[in-house]
Structure formats: structure tokens, C-alpha cells
Structure 1
């Protein structure tokens, strides 16, 4: 079934277009045509005046949403519930994220995500395993009892994971470079995993060696990393200086000072910074607290904190992140939208299918009002609430 979406301004991932319409053919984008065009066999759908139709947001770090924590509910239903909660905020594709736990739980979560990724229109495009091979000294709220170095069995099990997803999704693993040997990094990359550095106190030199071995990006830049020192710049500077590596940014005005993020954006080539939420179960709810590892996490003043004030994820959604990127960092609309869609698609190697409005791409879309609040989404051509329109 063909549908012609008209009446909204279009952002293709490359440019803004006025007076054009988007032609969908089932789950895919067929073409962009002039708004006055008549397409035989297509149902015309008029979108609200002043709205903006853009590629759906892609979030590579989502711990929870809609009251669900992936660590506590490592099932396909849990992953799909998290994706459904974030869809309200423009995220049409995400990696449900399981943080440091016993490896059986983490592997169960990964296999559940593979099952969820096979559900058409579910919005799950892989899994993010954040740990357990991280620095004990930079663990944040991660459970120290499960932090360790990988052994041969771990490497065998992890190396087999991408086959569970096939072409449907990606396996992202966050690790501390000082916890994993270069040969093991190279082995995991050859197996098809995407590796990111994070929760790490690695030196500049150790991080650069890990990059040469295949490290592709960095998880929530500056968070759970030592400050940049004049004689020991460490992993954070290595991330900024690595021209080919991507960095995830939490732009909530809490995790990192906006001026530091502005400096990081200036240091990196355009296209290598992407937005993440690091969201937790309260997203999409009015909950004031939740439980992590049996401990109460409080939702206060835009923060998620333990009793001791340690940050435990972020209280933000992707549409907020886009607005904050413009307001706090001075980034223009087009680039902020790319940071939420095109750039994470490139990081994941899915930019031939997601992150743009172009013929042959999957019809994952977000409709925004003039203030960049979400009016609706489409995943594989199906509008939220069911149906194509």
C-alpha cells in the first residue's frame, strides 16, 4: 500500500525541503516528490501545518523505559516494551542496554534482544552490553561484584552473538581498554561486534592501541572517565583526538558541562558525535524512583541518583536531547537531528537502511512540531497506534 505524506517540511538527513512530500510503499520509502504531485494508487495523508518530518531517532544506549529495566527483564517482551516507551519521544530504533551483571544474565538479555529484533516494527535493532569488562575504579553504579576481565569462555560466547542477529541488528559492547587485551579486541571485532570504550581509566597510549585493534567508539564521553590532565590526558582526550571514532553524548545539562561538550564538538570531525539518552525505567512514566541492583534510585530535578548522590543513568529522552543540543550547545537544527539519527546509523553500520529520508530506506520517521516536540512516529511504515497514517 502506498501513502503520500504531505503538508510537512522534510528533513532528509542532508537538507531541509519545503513543498515536497514523502512517498511510502509499505515499510519502505519509495521517493520524495513535489508536494503538488499526484501519485497513482497512493493515499494522500496531510500532516499538520508547520510540522517537520525527519528520520526517526536512533538511540544506542537505553537501559530502560516505560517502567521496565532491561537488567531486571532480560526478555524479548522487555526489550519491546522499552522500545515502545521511547517511541513516544521520537526514537524509532534503539539498542536495549544491559549493564554489568553476571554474564548469564547479560547473554540472556542479548539473546532476548535478538528475538525482539526479529519482530517487524518493534524498533529493536540490536543490543548494547555495557560491561562487565570495565574498570572497577570507574564503575559508577555498576555492580562491582561482576566486574572482571574476559576469559576464553566469555570470548567464545560473545563472538557467537552476532550470528543470532544476522542482518537484523548489531551487538555493541562497552569495555575498558585496560581490561581487555588487543588480541581479544581484534577477535571480537572480527566476529562482528562493535566495541566502544567506556567506564575506563585507560591512558591515552593504551586507548590509542585499542583503537588500532578495532575499538570503534566511546560510550557517554567524559562520564565514568578521569578528567583530562595536562600530563595524563587519558581516554577522554584519546576519544576526542581519534578522527575515525564516534562518541556518544548525554546532553542533559547534568552529566557534562555544556561548554565541555561544545569544545568536544569543535575537536571532532563533523559526523562523529551522536546523541544517547542512557535512559532508565522512569522515561515515559511519572515514577519518582526505581530499583537498580536492589538499591533505590531517586528521580529528582532532572537527575537519577542513588542515596549517595551518584548518577544512575539519565532522565532524558531523545527529543529532549535534540532540543538541548540546540539550546545548550548552539548546534543548528539539521546537525542536531543528524546527531540523533544519521550519525548513530553510521556508527552501527546501518546507514544504508536507517537515518535518512531517501528511496530504498526503511520508513522510520518522526513528526515534530515547531518546538520539536513529537507529534507522531512511523516504524517500518506503520504509524504509532497502528496503521500507516
Structure 2
């Protein structure tokens, strides 16, 4: 699946870490892997993930973050952003500084700060005690602690100083995202004008649509400047809602994310989170009160769900899992498509869109 469309009976040549050529049969030399009727698509790019393989990015332990990244890599995610949940400023400052080093080393593609500037009414699994308004000095301190590695900040623009925070994040070169918000449609439009360009897990953690109070969802879907995240695990969204979002925003404005916690790549069980923990049952991660607490999703499963359940074409799915998130992160000159000169980040799928192999930077990390 190339930027120019589907290539039937095609081949890809890799030299070192890069794609050197693409073409149609016959291949120019020895074939290392014959896909045999399957698909080759670009490596997935995940904007929003908190954990995987039993590991969490909270605490920024290098071994844990490496396990997190390696787990998602085996499921086709060749570029991943580490997402921090709401916590005290000291903890966030410490984690941001440590994660910035791991971003510099290429373990992760950057950091997503999801909170603590979120609505108490739409906090989801974020601890209420950690939430606060985005006071300008605190915003500046945490942006500085990230040393340029913060790629996205999710906040509720209706909070005191919310619109100023959107401007500060955008001015720092990061993505300002609207999420965990109870904002009105008017405030949401003001946030977009201030520089917000992403809707964090659209529909989840935000005021629902009402015919007299449309809330944030309608303006986020309507504005061409905004890309909407969708969590397609069959739990966060009904497939009909995913189809509606795709039809409303268009395939170029949708980014699939996992919002994954420790259970991704591991399965059902009980996982630590703060003082209470999260239980995953039948793939759904919940707090004891039933609140969803992220997902156990991997991007290969999201890709498959998008096509088989949510009405995406394979072109739509590639855009949503690779091309669009790479563009948002500013790495489309390196990855996010199958094109000569780009990094050889490849995912091989069978005819039913199930994972067969993964190549990262020109080396196979999973075959079979």
C-alpha cells in the first residue's frame, strides 16, 4: 500500500535502514520474504499509549519503557509516543526529564502529557486529586522539563487559563489537544482558533452531543484543522460511531490510537495503577467502579477492526495508523509511508489483515 495506491504483485527493496526501491514483478534480486497474497503496509505510528507488555511509562524507568516500546513494536508499531497520565508536578517533572532522554535515544518518538489540566467532570480514570487548572507558570515549567520531547498535551480548554495554555503548547511546537473536557461548542471553537489541532480519543472523556448544547464533539469533527483520535477496540466506541466519525471528518483527519495500558500484549488480569489498580476482563480495562482505564489494544488489532468492523478501506486504515499520525508528529519525512528514501518500517499482514511480520529500521523484529 503506497502513497500512490495499491501495488499488486509488487516488491520492496531495502538497503540498510531505508527503502531503496519499489516496483512490480519480477523482483530485481533474491526474495527474502514472499508475502503470498497478503499486504505490506507502513509501520504503525501510535500517538497515545501508556503501557504494554506489563510495563507502564509512568515512573519513566528505562527498562519498563523499553519493554513497553518493544511490546508494541512486535504488534507493528514502529514509532510510539509515551503518554503520561495526571500526577503531581514533581512526579511529572521527573518523568518528563527521563523520558526526554529516551526520546533522544530513539526508544520512543516523544511524550504525550495527558493531564493534569483536565475537567474533573470528564476525568475518566485520572485521579481527581491530581487535576488542576493550567496555571501559566506550571505549564511553562513542564514544557521546559520536556526539553522539546513533548509532542502533545491534552487539556480541557474551559478551565481557568485554558486558552492561554493551548497557545503556550502550540507556541512550544507541540500538539495542543482537546480532551477530558466539558467545554461548550463555543469554547471548543475558541480553542481551535488558539491552536488546538487534535481531539483526544473523540467521544470518550468529553461531554456528549446534545441537540441544544452540542459540546466539543461537533466543532471538533467539523473543523478541517482538527485530527480526531479514535480508540477502535470494540469497547470504547461502537463501530457505527467510528463510521460516523470517519464520514464526518474524512479519512485524512482520523488517527487511530491505542490508549493502551499495561495489559496490551499481555491480556486479562489485574494491573497496578495508583492505590486501586485496574482489572482487565474480556479485553476491557476498568477501575473498580467500572470506569474505563485505557485499553488492552494493539495497533494491529485496531487496523483490522477499522477495516472489518468500522467501514475503513485499507487506504483509510493506512492513513489513520501511519500517514496521518506521522504527519502530526512531524516525522513524515522519515516514516509513515512506503516510499524510497524513507525508513524501512514495514508491517506484513495476511489476506485477513492479521499480523505476519514486522520490520523496523530495515531489520526484521518479528516474522510469523
Counterpart for residue 82 of structure 1: 68
The alignment status of 1:178 with 2:178, answered yes or no, reads no
The Cα of 1:13 is off from its aligned counterpart by: 4.1
How much has 1:267 moved relative to structure 2? 1.1
Change (3 A) 1:207 1:125: same
Q: Deviations over 1:120-147 (max 9, x none)?
A: 5x3x100111000000111011011110
The partner residue of 1:127 within 107, 111, 114 is 111
> Match of 1:46?
33
- State the TM-score, normalized to the length of structure 2: 0.94
Residue 5 of structure 1 is matched in structure 2 by none
**More displaced stretch, 60-69 vs 339-348:** 339-348
Equivalent position to 1:139, from 116, 120, 123: 123
Q: Are 1:17 and 2:7 matched, yes or no?
A: yes
Measured against aligned partners, the alpha-carbon deviations of 1:206-263 in whole angstroms (never above 9, x if no partner) come to 0101111110111000001111011110111121111110010011221122212221
Match of 2:46 among 34, 40, 59: 59
Taking only aligned residues, the RMSD between alpha carbons, in angstroms, comes to 2.0
**What SS does structure 2 have at the residue aligned with 1:329?**
coil
The whole-number CA distance in structure 2 between the counterparts of 1:152 and 1:236 is 26
- For residues 37 and 95 of structure 2, the distance between their equivalents in structure 1, rounded to whole angstroms, comes to 41
* CA contact 1:182–1:213 (8 Å) conserved in 2: yes
Q: Partners of 2:238 and 2:334 in 1: how far apart?
A: 34
How do 1:138-177 residues align onto structure 2 when only pairs under 5 Å count?
138-161=122-145, 163-165=147-149, 171-177=151-157
* Corresponding residue for residue 237 of structure 2: 256
Aligned residue-pair number: 367
Local SS of the residue matching 1:12: coil
- SS for the counterpart of 1:159 is helix
Q: Say whether 1:34 aligns with 2:18.
A: no
Distance 1:197 1:23 in 2: 41
Say if 2:305 is the partner of 1:324.
yes
Query: Aligned partners of 1:326, 1:372: CA distance in 2, in Å?
Result: 8
Q: Show the counterpart of 2:322.
A: 341
Distance 1:346 1:161, change over 3 A: farther
What is the DSSP-based 3-state SS (H/G/I as helix, E as strand, rest coil) of the residue aligned with 2:118? coil
Name the CA distance, whole Å, in 1 between partners of 2:142 and 2:4.
36
Contact persistence 2:179–2:205 (CA under 8 A): yes
Equivalents in 1 of 2:129, 2:93: separation in Å? 17
Per the normalisation by structure 1, the TM-score is 0.89
Cα deviation 1:58-79 (Å, max 9, x = unaligned): 11111100101112x3133322
Matches within 5 A, 1:253-292: 253-292=234-273
Greater CA drift, 60-69 or 361-370: 361-370
SS in 2 for 1:106: helix
Residue of structure 2 aligned with 1:350, choices 327, 331, 336:
331
